[in-house]
Amino acid sequence: MPPPPLRTSAGAPTGPNAGASTHASEYADFESFSPIMTRDEMLDWFSRRLGRAADAADVFKVGKEFYQLGAYSRALVCLQHYVAFPGAITAGRHLLAYCYLSLGELENALIEFKACVLENFHEDWQMVVELAIEIEEARRQQAANNPRHLMNQDLLASTTAADVANMSLDSSSASNVLATM
- Report the share of the chain in percent with pLDDT over 70: 64
Residue 127 carries which side chain, given as an amino acid letter?
M
Of the three residues 79, 104, 129, the one that is the final residue of a domain is 104
Burial track 6-35 (b if 16+ CB lie within 10 A, e otherwise): bbbeeeeeeeeeeeeeeeeeebeeeeebee
- Do 147 and 69 fall into the same domain? no
113 occurs within a structural domain: no
Domain count, the chain: 2
60 occurs within a structural domain: yes
Q: How far apart (Å, rounded) are the C-alpha atoms in residues 7 and 15?
A: 7
Indicate the SS3 state at residue 174: helix
CATH of the domain at 86: 1.25.40
- Do 138 and 85 fall into the same domain? no
Helices (H), 20-170: 39-50, 56-69, 72-82, 90-102, 106-118, 125-145, 147-157, 161-165
The model's confidence at residue 179, banded by pLDDT at 50, 70 and 90, is low
Q: Would the pLDDT of 28 be above 80?
A: no
Q: How far apart (Å, rounded) are the C-alpha atoms in residues 114 and 181?
A: 9
Q: Would the pLDDT of 173 be above 70?
A: no
8 occurs within a structural domain: yes
Owning domain of residue 61: 1-104
Q: How far apart (Å, rounded) are the C-alpha atoms in residues 94 and 4?
A: 10
Of the three residues 69, 104, 139, the one that is the final residue of a domain is 104
User: Whole-prediction pTM value?
Assistant: 0.66
Residues 6+ positions from 87 with CB-CB distance below 8 Å: 56
Q: How far apart (Å, rounded) are the C-alpha atoms in residues 139 and 154?
A: 10
168 occurs within a structural domain: yes
36 occurs within a structural domain: yes
39 occurs within a structural domain: yes
